[in-house]
Amino acid sequence: MKRLAYASPVNPAPSGISDYSEELLPYLGMYAEVTLYIEDGLRPTHPRLVQHLEIRPVSRLERDHRRRPFDAIIYHMGNSPAHLGIWRALQRTPGVVVLHDFVLHHFMLQEMVAVRGQIDRYRAEMRRRYGDEGARVAELMLRGRFPEAAFDFPFCEDVLERATGILAHSRYVLDRVTALKPGLATALVPMGVPLPMLIPRNEACERLGLPQNALILASFGHINPYKRLEPALRALRDLRAVHPDARYLLVGSISPNYDAPGVVERLGLTEAVTITGYVSRSTFEDYVAAADICLNLRHPTAGETSASLLRLLGAGRPTLVTATGSFTELPPGVAAQVDPDGSESDLILGYCRLLAERPDVAAAMGAAARKYVAHCHTLEGAARAYVEFLARHCGWGDIRPLRAAPLWDVEGRPPRRAAPRERLSFARDADQSAAQRAPAPPPLVQTVAEALIGLGVTGDDRAVLDAAARALAEIGFGRE
């Protein structure tokens, strides 16, 4: 039996990767004997972790590996302080890195300056790596200002130097890794998520105290300056001219560096916007079910693949995403893509009106989204992709499951069959049945129709394109 060291945050560590690993580990345990390495002093809150896995402090990984070498070591790296111990262990003992964010600038700033107090070193590294512009951005960061330009300086080079291989969830990240370190072994693996149970909207609204007949928009996750709140709020303000009951839910914590309530107040939308703060998983799922339209917008991007987005898509919610980074790799018809430029608010408005006034289009998009997640993002399929890479890269040989079932059920749900391997390539045919064929449309209405084309819609996807074009023409958006 192969022995796998797996270094990752787990709950209660404040990282989305905690949920990610707790869902993936029982499936990886079908193929290997897993030892979980976590931050020193952390006490896992998931009872199944303690019951089924050996758990060790990450500071012991180097010594454990020296005494009895593992067949592979996997480190999870993301852009948060929850990965500090993992980063230090990687420096001592190289291994395969799952790179959740290509841009690790904010993490490295935290590690060098806040933890080690190495201000001069941070300045010197930014100048050495990125020249005068890097030095200028470093000074802004040290003054507590976080410009968008910081995303142009990934600061991930040291991680790549210590990695023996890279796993990522998007070609966007893998292409940039290859540009920085050609020849490093890489693999694209799907991000596995449990397919959410479908919750009736009326039941969710009743539990949350939300009006049944209101048009509900919602965004999920940590609220910071990069989540495109202001363009979304400007669109909401215009949307309420035709849908006066429209309201916007911001479900998640707020960055201390961003005055989200002040932005809402400045735009005169206090009565229409609710900021919930952090909520439990069950309450999160109720808010997802209550939402008519979800907004998962972010720009600039650190190269992340959003697990929260996959949960929204898996729940069958029609969702708007920013047309940047890994989000452009979504298949046609699965989500509406919004360009982060001067047309952003108009595009958000147009899509929201389309989805609110054409429930058939909203239903088709939601069905296509759920089908995509069910086929391309299973937990079993994700675990097998990990193991296939380890088999090639570490010489594992035979990768047949050692156990017939996962170590435990995820979220109390029965295990689901993995999609066939060919379906893990984000195939376009997964969404062909999302809507019925329609007659030829009138000329496409400029702004929103162009964005639909930006979804990746081609001649093979006329159903989605035709329905959107007709609906936009009917509601008059874009006319002179």
Q: Output the tens digit of pLDDT for each of the chain's 480 residues.
A: 899 999 999 999 878 899 999 999 999 999 999 999 999 999 999 999 999 999 999 999 999 999 999 999 999 999 888 999 999 999 999 999 999 999 999 888 888 888 888 899 989 999 999 999 999 999 998 887 777 888 888 989 999 999 999 999 999 999 999 999 999 999 999 999 999 889 999 999 999 999 999 999 999 988 888 889 999 999 999 999 999 999 999 998 888 878 999 999 999 999 999 999 888 888 999 999 999 999 999 988 777 888 889 999 999 999 999 998 889 999 999 999 999 999 999 999 999 999 999 999 999 999 999 999 999 999 999 999 999 999 999 988 878 888 889 988 885 443 333 333 322 222 222 333 333 333 333 333 444 444 444 344 444 444 445 555 544 444 444 443
Pair 310, 289: CB distance under 8 Å: no
Burial 88-118 (b: 16+ CB within 10 A, else e): bbbeebebbbbbbbbbbbbbbbbbbbeeeee
Bond before 12 cis per omega within 30 degrees: yes
Burial group, residue 25, by CB count within 10 angstroms (0-12, 13-18, 19+) = buried
How many residues does the structure list for the chain? 480
- Alpha-helical (H) ranges within 240-279 are 260-266
Query: Could you give the CA distance from residue 21 to residue 24 in angstroms, rounded to a whole number?
Result: 5
Tokens at 232, concatenated? 């979304």
CA distance 236 to 69: 56
The token duo for 165 is: 């291989």
**DSSP for 132-143, written as a single string:** HHHHHHHHHHHT
Tokens 């540009």 sit at which residue?
179
For residues 465 and 458, the answer to whether their CB atoms sit within 8 Å is: no
Query: Is the distance from CB of 315 to CB of 289 less than 8 angstroms?
Result: yes
3-104+156-188 in CATH: which number? 3.40.50.11930
Please report which helix (H) or strand (E) contains residue 229, including its range: helix 229-239
Strand partners, 7: 37, 75
CATH architecture label of 201-374+435-475: 3-Layer(aba) Sandwich (3.40)
> What's residue 150's pLDDT?
85
Return d(Cα 446, Cα 469) in angstroms, integer. 10
- Fold: same for 3-104+156-188 and 201-374+435-475: yes
Q: What pLDDT was estimated at residue 468? A: 52
Collapse the DSSP code of 302 into the 3-class scheme (helix H, G, I; strand E, B; otherwise coil) and give the result.
coil
Domain boundaries, the chain: 3-104+156-188, 201-374+435-475
320 has which bridge partners? 295, 336
In degrees and rounded to multiples of 5, residue 81 shows phi and psi of -65, -15
For residue 149, count other CB atoms closer than 10 A to its CB. Answer: 14
- Please tell me the predicted confidence (pLDDT) of residue 411: 59
- Is residue 424 within 8 Å of 190, Cβ to Cβ? yes
Q: Any alpha helices (H) in 71-162, and if so which ranges?
A: 84-92, 105-109, 119-142, 157-162
What does the alpha-carbon distance between residue 430 and residue 415 come to, in Å, rounded to a whole number? 22
Q: Is residue 391 exposed (0-12), middle (13-18) or buried (19+ Cβ within 10 Å)?
A: middle
Measure CA 413 to chain center: 22
Q: Is the dihedral of CA 376, 378, 379, 384 positive or negative?
A: negative
- pTM, two decimal places: 0.81
Residue 120: strand, helix, or coil: helix
